[in-house]
Amino acid sequence: MIKRKILPTVVSLYSLSLAGGVAAQEQVLEEVIVTGVLKATSKLESTASVTALTADEIIEAAPRSTAEIFRSLPGIHAEASSGDANANIKVRGMPISAGGSRYVSIQEDGFPMLLVGDAAFATAESWLRMDGTVGSVQSIRGGTAATTAWNAPGGIINFISKTGEQEGGSIGVTAGLDYDSTRVDANYGGALTDAWTYHVGGFYRDGEGVREDGVEEGYQIKATLAGEFDRGSVKVHFKHLDDEVPTYLPIPAVYKGSSNFSEVEVDFGDGTLFEGVTDCAPRQGNKIDCVDGDSFQAEMTSIAFDGTFDFNDTFSANLKYRTATIEGNFAAPFPANVYDDGDAGPSVEIVYFNTKSNDEDNDFADLNLSADWDMIQARAGVAFASQNLATTWNFNQYYRRLDGNLTVFDQGNSVDGVLYGNPAFGNCCTREYDFEIDGTAPYIAFTGQLGDNFSWDASYRDNQYEVDGTFAESPVLMPLDVNGDGAIGQNEQEVPTIGDSRRADYDIDYDAWSVGANYVIGNDMAVFANISEGGSLSSPDRVTGSIQDNGDMLNDSGYNEVEQAEIGFKYTGDTASFYATYFTAETTEASEFEVTSQTFKQNTYEADGIELEGSWEMGNGFGIRANATFTDSEIKKSRDGANEGNTPRRQADYLYNITPYYFAENWDVGLSIFGTDEVYVQDNNDLKFDGFVTVSLFFNYTFNDSIRLGLNVNNMFDEEGFTEGEEGSAAPGDYVRIRPINGRTSSVTLQYIF
């Protein structure tokens, strides 16, 4: 196995820290893959496309959010412009139809963050944070992902915690140099006894984030206890997250023709429409609830158990279980209408998205039995899941001038620039959802070897869901004292309140299967292929338009189907590695509602492409890592017949990430270069966003075995780029609403290692 000196820690906003003192600061390059596979394996021997990022590689990517880490994974397209919550994540041309991560399971230590990844205003990664307790990030695309996880037909991204196998720890402080943010990270781990190890750590941060006027304040504590015994092993994971982070939505701009846009008094690099208001709205029972600040509030407490017992040399049993309490609140301004208001100039009607995640609690369990007969291994088990999905939506409307100060003005019945309701959206969005999803998935899997070089696997899973609950989507207008001043004001005459509920009571059942093979050529090359079929349950709040009066679901609705195939080549040498995979995917989606466009979407897509991944240790301290994804994607069928034959919105023909670096005796430096091709803003393939390239810098200096200083510059050349837009067409001079990437931000970290 090849080893390399690990990157001296520190540089990013995360102040990522690696356990262990100087003598222990080495890490195996070829990490064992445990995510989405039937048995632990290496990249060379896997029958699917897998990637493992070590902690130092994550640092070199210079991320400013969790979603930016995903850019280092081939095949994954993460629109990382929203901050640490509400990101859009897709894989291999499978579309971003309604937000979130519909086809990728986002996991922590093998447990999904949420059962469904595309719930409105409650996407799975919103409760996931990177810190020094994470030892690696693993990903699998296609293949057995469809049969080893819930709602993962496209792939899995798994954050794996350190267990304390290397004794030591660190504490570091990261401060923004040109933005308001201070973060403290600490972690420590080691041996408790000959059989038990532990690791504990977390972070605390305070500031406004990388854009103006945000709210960034909170902390995370994580701990892992691990035991290795003669007849098995045990891991126990604990996590408590209480974090508030900005969520960035589109901002106003002017379309200048071609693919050019100009600002309207809100800076593309660091500006927001954040108002800093106290937004009050009726919740359940018309009880008034007020939210201060523009942010996503995430709270999660979880405890997980993973235990394996070996009965003998042939048979073993494994039990995994995690329970989590989860809640949150999404509060951010969305520009519903941008217009010229006579002599007053550019103005904006803001619909303020204020959505309470009352209860996202979930439980996941997996019980299986395995048998190992040398040349063939078998596993049979059943997975269980229970997910609450209880959210309350309330959208008020605010009126602001785009004059650089967001000056308040009144329109219609508003008072002091606020109207309780959202006429810009037809008062659509005072809603309440209260669902419970119960899942049962029996599965069976086989893997084996023919000779020394050929390995294969085959697996099947039956995904059974029961969805029960209520939803209220038709608000009732009534007088209500929202601001609590004891009077019914002009803007409180017709306040949308939660109306009558309807029942949801339906079952979804679909199969998933995968077959794959891998052939090792010599000691350092292999070829592989697999084919798989699976699906994902649509979040119930997305498919209420297909729920009948009796609570049942219309036929062929409520879930999305995916068929995939891939064939690839792998090379892993002493100083270089190279992986190339050709893939195809066909995706058939259920009819689902998108709030920002107020439309239902139901499309069938086809995509094929190539993933490339490689690294080269050139010697004398120089090295390079890179990945690229080339995709050709097409809308084959749509709900109304429109846009068939077009490219899906925001689907780039290529993405790449290149990291060249240099290591000296006590310092290192490198770049993380991310690039994307142009994309169509919407499915009608008219308005375009140009491609862009961002370059981020990391530099570290090691004073001695204990003290390190790091500098990180994200988007060093202050590149302009856009990831999301509302308008599919525009004429030069028209106002549009687009979401830009963050401009240049710099941070410095001082770390003490012990």
Is 679 in contact with 689 (CB distance < 8 Å)?
A: yes
**For the chain, what percent of residues have pLDDT higher than 90?**
83
Mean pLDDT of 155-180: 95
Angle at 197 between CA 192 and CA 202, to 5 degrees: 105
21 pLDDT band, cuts 50/70/90, is very low
The answer to whether 592 touches 602, Cβ cutoff 8 Å, is yes
Among the ranges given (84-93, 176-185, 466-475, 585-594), the one the predictor scored with the smallest mean pLDDT: 585-594
- Is the separation of the CB atoms in 614 and 573 below 8 Å? no
682-737 pLDDT per residue, tens: 999 999 999 999 999 999 999 999 999 999 999 999 999 999 999 999 999 999 99
When divided into structural domains, the chain yields a total of 1
Closest C-alpha among 239, 238, 377, 376 to residue 318: 377
What average pLDDT does range 25-46 have in this prediction?
A: 74
**Does residue 9 register a pLDDT over 70?**
no
Of 130, 114, 165, 125, residue with least CA distance to 53: 130
Relative to beta strand 288-292, strand 278-282 is antiparallel
| pLDDT digits 0-9 by tens, 661-686 | 999 999 999 999 999 999 999 999 99
DSSP annotation of 247 reads: B
Predicted pLDDT at 594: 64
Q: Taking residues 158-180, what's their average pLDDT?
A: 95
Antiparallel, parallel or unpaired: β 104-108 and 155-161: parallel
321 or 38, greater pLDDT: 321
In this prediction the pTM is 0.93
CATH at residue 512 = 2.40.170.20
Query: Cα separation of 651 and 677, whole Å?
Result: 9
Mean pLDDT computed over 201-230: 96
**What is the Rg, in whole angstroms, of the alpha carbon atoms belonging to the chain?**
25
pLDDT at 354 over 50: yes
Split at pLDDT 50, 70, 90, the class of 597 is low
Burial class (CB in 10 A: 0-12, 13-18, 19+), 457: buried
Q: Tabulate helix, strand, coil % of the chain (nearest 5).
A: 5, 60, 35
Both tokens of 295, joined, read 């942010």
pLDDT band at 8 (very low <50, low <70, confident <90, very high): very low
Q: What is the mean pLDDT of the chain?
A: 91
Residue 6 in this model has a pLDDT that exceeds 70: no
Dist CA 399 CA 379 (whole Å): 60
Mean pLDDT within 447-475: 96
Compute the distance between CA of residue 144 and CA of residue 464 in angstroms, rounded to an integer: 18
- Judging by beta carbons within 10 Å of its beta carbon (0-12, 13-18, 19+), is residue 43 exposed, middle or buried? buried
pLDDT of the residue at 656: 96
Range of the domain at 520: 3-753
DSSP, collapsed to helix, strand or coil, labels residue 451 as coil
Q: How confident is the model at residue 439, as a pLDDT?
A: 98
